[in-house]
Structure 1
Amino acid sequence: MILPRTHRPSSSSPDADRPPWAAAGLHQLESGTAETKRMYAAPEARGTGAGQASLRTWEEAAQRWGIRRIILETGSLNHAALALYDKVGHARDESYVSGREPRINGALSKTFGGR
């Protein structure tokens, strides 16, 4: 299956009549690598597992599409986001965006299948 460059966000909500609790998107950068984009969890959803569920949905889809590595960037002081990414297996990595200040922007990555 060919992976389009950008995918619409996935979302989860306990009630179809309410806005999504959490959402994330995926953007293909190069063969086998994609970037998590626009990750968001509504304040009332934080700590419920909704963010983890959204990320896991994308990770499962990405693996089916042949993605072997997911990268992302978040604020280095965004401790809640860093804890979420740590829970789902992301590790700190070198910045993949030229000129980024690591004290401000933290890069993370996750590789599937031990590659």
Structure 2
Amino acid sequence: FIGASLGIGLVTILVLLQNWWLAVQVAIAAILMQQVKDNLLAPRLLGNFIGLNPIWIFVAILMGFEIAGLLGTLVAVPIAGTIKGTFDAIKSGKPSDFVSTVTIAHDPPPD
């Protein structure tokens, strides 16, 4: 969020030195594109990757922020994906979904 705002602000200021009307147009276009990316594209792509509806991603991020601030926003989506995966595994009812496929090899005890 801060990086995008700084970038838009810096470009707008640089264009403002040349032409104030063009600077206004650049700022509006950049803000609109940023909003579309952040509010439409990113949740849809993230939702397809994790398997969550974009609405639930927004809810998870808002809840994460309310509960734990900035750290909560960073871990909210992975936690929501884990919860969804757990509920999907419980709902499917297959015992194999609960068993790890990882095996740990160990050396036999010495004689």
What is the TM-score with the length of structure 1 in the denominator?
Answer: 0.26
Question: Higher helix fraction: Structure 1 or Structure 2?
Answer: 2
Larger radius of gyration between Structure 1 and Structure 2: 2
Query: Which has more strand, going by share of residues?
Result: 1
